[in-house]
């Protein structure tokens, strides 16, 4: 008799249903796994054998063949231990209902205990979409699995508990209140607040616009101008996560094993600061065991690159495709995986190698050639993808002493950002996007219409500054956000003028 158990295999942040088939033959004792298993699945053989024996069940005396179907999907991860063990127990005649609407996920330790596994949310989510009604997971993964609505979740401590569930000791179902997680965990206590940043009105406005429309931004300024501090303050004005965004992020963090098993929902917009020595794989994702990189961990949040001109040019160049497409494709030997990567790129750099070009008090010691070489680290196509470029001058000693009034607190700025985001979400309800920065060429034509006078003004400006077609579109998107911040229905001349300022600042 062939016994069956249902489980899932991860594909990027999605998954598909997998059928585990177990058969035994009278042959030399052995256990073999077929159906494109990787090493972690192959190792299941030893863990499953010990776990079954140490849970007080007998293990087949002959040869055990485990087939994972469909065979063309690569199976990775230690969560195949449990469905393989369930299949073997069923084959041995243990009383587990032959119900193919019930799935199993979990790693087994040698004593039969169930261990936490990564990627449970995407796995269970895929199973629910495949019509599965019940899932058994390790107890520590139960709350995470229960984030998927409409599927029964049972968390077990031991393999034996699952067998007992079907005979005399039922396990209690796990349920969670997602909205409560979202409300309780929404963190409003930020370390860095704009009220502590003196002056810099233009840069602050640029950050507000960036946060409101999800635009990429670059700040150029001397050391001590406060650009890094302002970038850190950005986290305090970003809007709270919507439930859909929170679930998307939780899937990513689940795959990377970065969730808190007690409060598994990611409720804070990510803010990832990356150092210029970080590897290309670390930023983009990949490596021998491909994992999402920083750009995916920054999905729906901020990727901050301090000292942007110090990064390897090659590392910066690979950001171009994800910045354009909102996702990243990671190639592997046999296939490739797509991860989401809709992040706001925020960069900070000095205006020149010594850092004091344009400073009011210190003199720049760089040659024209050195300045050109330094700036050329950021290629034209990369700069094209940055919507706002803003100079952040260092305040003079006098300005620092004389600016005594406290600045506007982040909480006030955030209110405007939230309002502008709501306007966008409503406008793009049917488009499947949330912010102006995501507008496609066709959508720009539809939503960023200009009156005749404003349009001819923008055309003249693009000729004067020799702006590319891509830049023209980005100015329109930026102007749309500036208009949304003032709650204006149409983009006006003043919005275009302001958008142009941020686009041609460093040219
Ligand atoms: Zn210099």
**Domains in the chain and their CATH numbers?**
3-165 (3.30.230.10), 185-407 (3.40.50.300)
Q: Ligand 1 mean position to 203 CA, how many Å?
A: 21
Q: Ligand 1 mean position to 374 CA, how many Å?
A: 10
3-state SS assignment for residue 120: helix
3-state SS assignment for residue 432: coil
Q: Ligand 1 mean position to 319 CA, how many Å?
A: 27
Q: Ligand 1 mean position to 358 CA, how many Å?
A: 9
- β-strand partners of 337: 330
- Taking the C-alpha atoms of residue 286 and residue 293, their distance in angstroms, rounded to an integer, is 7
Q: Ligand 1 mean position to 225 CA, how many Å?
A: 15
Q: Ligand 1 mean position to 378 CA, how many Å?
A: 17
- Joined together, the tokens standing for residue 45 give 């053989």
Q: How many CA atoms lie within 13 A of 355 on its CB side?
A: 11
Q: Ligand 1 mean position to 372 CA, how many Å?
A: 11
Cβ(205)–Cβ(336) under 8 Å? no
Q: Ligand 1 mean position to 220 CA, how many Å?
A: 12
Q: Ligand 1 mean position to 471 CA, how many Å?
A: 28
3-state secondary structure 212-248: HHCCCEEEECCCCCCHHHHHHHHHHHCCCCCHHHHHH
What are the angstrom distances between the C-alpha of 502 and each of 125, 202, 232, 306, 387?
42, 9, 20, 19, 8
- Taking the C-alpha atoms of residue 220 and residue 352, their distance in angstroms, rounded to an integer, is 9
Q: Ligand 1 mean position to 69 CA, how many Å?
A: 62
- Taking the C-alpha atoms of residue 336 and residue 318, their distance in angstroms, rounded to an integer, is 16
Q: Ligand 1 mean position to 467 CA, how many Å?
A: 27
Q: Ligand 1 mean position to 422 CA, how many Å?
A: 43
Q: Ligand 1 mean position to 355 CA, how many Å?
A: 5
Cβ neighbours of 69 (radius 10 Å): 15
Q: Ligand 1 mean position to 390 CA, how many Å?
A: 18
Q: Which of 93, 178, 101, 189 is nearest to 144 (CA)?
A: 178
Q: Ligand 1 mean position to 231 CA, how many Å?
A: 23
pLDDT at 507: 40
Q: Ligand 1 mean position to 194 CA, how many Å?
A: 28
- Taking the C-alpha atoms of residue 251 and residue 40, their distance in angstroms, rounded to an integer, is 21
- Taking the C-alpha atoms of residue 215 and residue 346, their distance in angstroms, rounded to an integer, is 9
C-alpha torsion sign, points 25, 165, 141, 173: positive
pLDDT along the chain (507 residues), means of 10: 94 94 90 88 92 95 94 92 97 92 98 97 97 98 97 98 95 94 72 90 95 96 92 93 92 94 91 92 84 95 95 91 92 81 96 91 93 89 90 83 81 96 96 93 95 94 84 93 96 94 64
CA 253 to chain centre: 8
CA 410 to chain centre: 24
Q: Ligand 1 mean position to 354 CA, how many Å?
A: 4
Q: What percent of the chain has pLDDT over 70?
A: 97
What are the angstrom distances between the C-alpha of 492 and each of 14, 452, 475?
43, 11, 13
Q: Ligand 1 mean position to 359 CA, how many Å?
A: 9
- Taking the C-alpha atoms of residue 258 and residue 139, their distance in angstroms, rounded to an integer, is 17
Tokens 């469905």 -> residue: 83
3-state SS assignment for residue 364: coil
């Amino acid at each position: 008799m062939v016994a069956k158990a249902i489980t899932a295999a991860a594909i990027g942040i999605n998954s598909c249903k997998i059928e585990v088939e177990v058969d035994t033959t009278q042959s030399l004792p052995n256990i073999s796994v077929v159906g494109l298993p990787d090493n972690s699945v192959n190792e299941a053989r030893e863990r499953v054998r010990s776990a079954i024996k140490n849970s007080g069940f007998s293990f087949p005396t002959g040869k055990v063949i485990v087939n994972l179907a469909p065979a063309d999907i690569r199976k990775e991860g230690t969560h195949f231990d449990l469905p393989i063990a369930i299949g073997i127990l069923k084959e041995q005649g243990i009383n587990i209902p032959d119900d193919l609407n019930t799935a199993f996920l979990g790693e087994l330790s040698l004593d039969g205990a169930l261990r936490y596994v990564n990627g449970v949310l995407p796995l269970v989510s895929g199973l629910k979409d495949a019509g599965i009604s019940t899932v058994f997971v390790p107890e520590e993964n139960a709350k995470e699995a229960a984030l998927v609505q409409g599927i029964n979740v049972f968390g077990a401590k031991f393999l034996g508990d699952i067998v007992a569930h079907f005979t005399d000791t039922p396990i209690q179902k796990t349920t969670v209140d997602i909205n409560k997680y979202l409300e309780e965990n929404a963190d409003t206590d930020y370390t860095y607040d704009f009220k502590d940043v003196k002056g810099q009105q233009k840069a602050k406005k640029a950050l507000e616009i960036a946060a409101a429309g999800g635009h990429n931004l670059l700040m150029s300024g001397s050391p001590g101008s406060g650009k890094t501090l302002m970038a850190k303050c950005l986290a305090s004005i970003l809007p709270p996560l919507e439930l859909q965004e929170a679930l998307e992020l939780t899937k990513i963090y689940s795959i990377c094993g970065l969730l808190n098993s007690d409060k598994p929902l990611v409720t804070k917009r990510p803010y990832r600061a990356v150092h210029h020595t970080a590897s290309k794989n670390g930023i983009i994702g990949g490596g021998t065991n491909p994992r999402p990189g920083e750009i995916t961990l920054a999905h729906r949040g901020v990727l901050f690159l301090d000292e942007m001109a110090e990064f390897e040019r090659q590392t910066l160049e690979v950001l171009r495709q994800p910045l354009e497409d909102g996702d990243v494709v990671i190639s592997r030997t046999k296939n490739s995986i797509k991860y989401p990567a809709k992040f706001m790129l925020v960069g900070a750099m000095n205006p020149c190698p010594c850092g004091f070009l344009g400073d009011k008090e210190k003199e720049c010691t760089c040659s024209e050639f050195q300045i050109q070489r330094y700036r050329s680290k950021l290629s034209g196509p990369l700069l094209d993808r940055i919507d706002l470029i803003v100079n952040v001058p260092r305040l003079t000693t006098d300005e620092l002493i004389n600016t005594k009034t406290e600045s506007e607190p982040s909480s006030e700025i955030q209110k405007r950002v939230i309002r502008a985001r709501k306007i966008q979400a409503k406008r793009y309800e049917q488009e499947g996007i949330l912010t102006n920065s995501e507008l496609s060429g066709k959508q720009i034509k539809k939503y960023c219409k200009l009156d005749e006078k404003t349009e001819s003004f923008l055309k003249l400006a693009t000729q004067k500054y020799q702006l590319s077609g891509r830049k023209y579109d980005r100015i329109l998107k930026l102007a749309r956000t500036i208009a949304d911040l003032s709650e204006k229905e149409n983009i006006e001349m003043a919005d275009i003028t302001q958008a142009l300022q941020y686009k041609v600042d460093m040219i």
